Structure 1
Amino acid sequence: MKVVFWGTPDFAVESLKKLLDSKHKVIAVVTQPDKPKGRGKKVQPPPVKIVALENNIPVFQPEKVKNNKELYENLKKLNPDIFVVVAYGKILPKDIIELPKFKTINVHASLLPEYRGAAPIHRAIMDGKDKTGVCIMEITEELDAGDVFDCVEVKIEKDDDIVSLHNKLAEKGGELLIDVLDRIERGEITPKPQEHDKATYAKPIKKDEGKIDWDKSAEEIFNQVRALKVWPKAFTTFRDSQVKILECEVIDKNTTGVPGEIVDIDKEEGIIVQTGKGRLIIKKIQFPGGKPIKGSDAVRGYHIKKGERFF
């Protein structure tokens, strides 16, 4: 099939690469405009654009999609069979959705109808889920509410964080996409309606969600740390400065005491902290102006002592 691919970030790259290696033909890519990034605010292309240009695929980067007659006409001239959307970043209007022969499908990183919305991977980790997955669905005007072609489950391991789970889901999503496209082309698959009464919403992550509440349980804080490892990173106050907790591990689920208090020091592993329920060991931490360091190095370098407290 002739495919127009809509996508922007790293998550979408795996699906695009799988498409390029398949029998289907990517005739164009639509992605977000180049944006300034990093401390230097240097304008950089989206990851999907980089892959598209490397493969000599025409790229469209519209500022807006709705009521964009030029974009619509350009896409119509391509006579696409199907649009594939993977983390594009904007809602598509009805005229765009219905333009191709087989309309428009989406790769979504959850087991729909659970975790519709912008941050399904983060929310699954933060909620302590032991599994999530990827679904291929039809796009409709209502957010992530279209009929589903197929899904695949992915186990969330205890050592998974936002990076590892993101990568696993991107890989599985790309594989499932090709399988579903093949079956659509052969007329061997029919999408099924979602159970809308069971829908949940994965709202976007906000920066203040990184603030650690030590009254919460060790399990909850552990899930927060690994879900927010890339951005905004879990943070807390120590010695009147904000520090970031990048890696930790639950070592006790039931002990109670003073939340945030350093109850012990493990010179090999890190800093043992009491939570509202249970204890954590901080294995990687970042102090203001410094690089991420092991908890054990922080103990030695910052002379951290038992009885001090995170707030």
Structure 2
Amino acid sequence: MRIVFAGTPAFAVPCLRAAAAHGDVVGVYTQPDRPAGRGRQYVPSPVKVEALSRQLPAFQPENFKSEAAREQLRALRPDLMVVVAYGLILPQSVLEIPAQGCWNVHASLLPRWRGAAPIQRAIEAGDTASGVCLMKMEKGLDTGPVLLSLATPISDDDTGGSLHDRLSELGAEVLSDGLKLLRAGMRPVPQPQPADGVTYAHKLDKAEARLDWTRPAAELANKVRAFNPWPVAEAQLAGERLRIHAARALPGGGDQAPGTVVAAGRDGIDVACGDGLLRLMVVQRDGGRALPAADYLNARPGLAGR
């Protein structure tokens, strides 16, 4: 089975390994190298690094608008194209090239959280479960029928980072299951997505990271977890901007104005919100590193009541 793989970030790497284990990966498509870091040096994507380590041919077109890019794909004679967080919407002319069509691994239980940031949006919304879907691609955004799926609970301690890593491995598992069935001549049966329950996971924006103390503490705690490790929640606290890496919602607050530091001690910094308290447990000052709240308080004694 001749497989073309398309993906870019670290999330897609386990799926590339799964594809290589169950077929002949004849080409890997990934986004062009991008400048990164202080030196703005061009850096290859994690998928490109994995492909080159396996001596697989890597292709990096800006898009598939040109006939030359599509012809290059046709020349690979793919039986199947597997797409995982590639970063490009594929036109119908590309979806029609592989003999068996195109499969996508998506990090949500569709139709909930179609779109760019399903992992973070699930945590931000307070969902208690997430998962991965193996989907047959069509022209719409994550609208294709689902072939297979795997679910996982979201715990109160999960962050965007921890759920990302778990779903990355589950994605490889569901892809592996689908490829085994296909190789055995038992093509997974496509199940159309229900019309009810559709939600969209819009791309994360750094401007969203700012916490609004007038909101309920439970809502802010979910945002802190969802935005760790990026873009990391931030807030103004007693005249200083802090990045909040870990926090917990607590009852209380009473008639304190939102943003008031109600208590500050070894367990954390309790801040009044629109409803309840948000206990800040790991914080970061501008130019500093992330610290337990107790260590931060060594530099800011007398914070309570401000």
For Structure 1 versus Structure 2, the TM-score category normalised by the shorter chain is: over 0.9
Partner in structure 1 of residue 277 of structure 2: 279
In structure 2, C-alpha distance between the alignment counterparts of 1:148 and 1:300, rounded to whole Å:
53
Partner in structure 1 of residue 117 of structure 2: 119
Q: How high is the sequence identity, in percent, across the aligned residues?
A: 40
Pick closer, same or farther for the CA change 1:16–1:256 going to 2, 3 Å: farther
Partner in structure 1 of residue 53 of structure 2: 54
- Is the 2:2–2:25 contact (alpha carbons within 8 Å) kept by the matching residues of 1? yes
Cα drift, residue 275 of structure 1: 1.3
Partner in structure 1 of residue 230 of structure 2: 231
Partner in structure 1 of residue 36 of structure 2: 37
Partner in structure 2 of residue 2 of structure 1: 2
Following superposition of structure 1 onto structure 2, how do residues 51-130 of structure 1 map, counting pairs within 5 Å? Answer: 51-66=50-65, 68-130=66-128
Following superposition of structure 1 onto structure 2, how do residues 178-197 of structure 1 map, counting pairs within 5 Å? Answer: 178-185=176-183, 186-197=185-196
Cα drift, residue 93 of structure 1: 0.8
**Cα shift readout 1:163-183 (whole Å, capped 9, x = no counterpart):** 000000000010000101222
In structure 2, C-alpha distance between the alignment counterparts of 1:303 and 1:36, rounded to whole Å:
42
Structure 1: give runs of 5+ residues left out of the alignment.
none
Cα drift, residue 188 of structure 1: 4.0
Partner in structure 2 of residue 222 of structure 1: 221
- Is the 1:257–1:276 contact (alpha carbons within 8 Å) kept by the matching residues of 2? no
**Amino acid in structure 2 at the alignment position of 1:65:** F
SS of match in other structure, 1:72: helix
- Is the 1:255–1:279 contact (alpha carbons within 8 Å) kept by the matching residues of 2? no
Cα drift, residue 238 of structure 1: 2.8
What is the TM-score when the length of structure 2 is the normalising length? 0.96
SS of match in other structure, 1:196: coil
- Is the 2:253–2:273 contact (alpha carbons within 8 Å) kept by the matching residues of 1? no
Partner in structure 1 of residue 304 of structure 2: 306
- Is the 1:135–1:173 contact (alpha carbons within 8 Å) kept by the matching residues of 2? yes
Partner in structure 2 of residue 148 of structure 1: 146
Structure 2: give runs of 5+ residues left out of the alignment.
none
User: Runs of at least 4 residues of structure 1 off by over 4 A?
Assistant: 253-256
Following superposition of structure 1 onto structure 2, how do residues 132-281 of structure 1 map, counting pairs within 5 Å? Answer: 132-185=130-183, 186-252=185-251, 257-267=256-266, 269-281=267-279
1:17 correspondence with 2:17: yes
In structure 2, C-alpha distance between the alignment counterparts of 1:144 and 1:35, rounded to whole Å:
26
**Cα shift readout 1:189-241 (whole Å, capped 9, x = no counterpart):** 21011113431111111111111011111110110001111222111113433
**Amino acid in structure 1 at the alignment position of 2:148:** D
Cα drift, residue 255 of structure 1: 5.0
SS of match in other structure, 2:94: helix
Q: Report how many residues are paired.
A: 305
In structure 2, C-alpha distance between the alignment counterparts of 1:65 and 1:304, rounded to whole Å:
59
In structure 1, C-alpha distance between the alignment counterparts of 2:232 and 2:186, rounded to whole Å:
45
In structure 2, C-alpha distance between the alignment counterparts of 1:214 and 1:231, rounded to whole Å:
20
- Is the 1:256–1:276 contact (alpha carbons within 8 Å) kept by the matching residues of 2? no
> What root-mean-square deviation, in Å, do the aligned CA atoms of Structure 1 and Structure 2 show?
1.4
Pick closer, same or farther for the CA change 1:254–1:299 going to 2, 3 Å: closer
Cα drift, residue 74 of structure 1: 1.7
In structure 2, C-alpha distance between the alignment counterparts of 1:113 and 1:36, rounded to whole Å:
34
In structure 1, C-alpha distance between the alignment counterparts of 2:289 and 2:238, rounded to whole Å:
18
- Is the 1:218–1:253 contact (alpha carbons within 8 Å) kept by the matching residues of 2? no
In structure 1, C-alpha distance between the alignment counterparts of 2:280 and 2:70, rounded to whole Å:
52
In structure 1, C-alpha distance between the alignment counterparts of 2:110 and 2:206, rounded to whole Å:
26
Pick closer, same or farther for the CA change 1:188–1:138 going to 2, 3 Å: closer
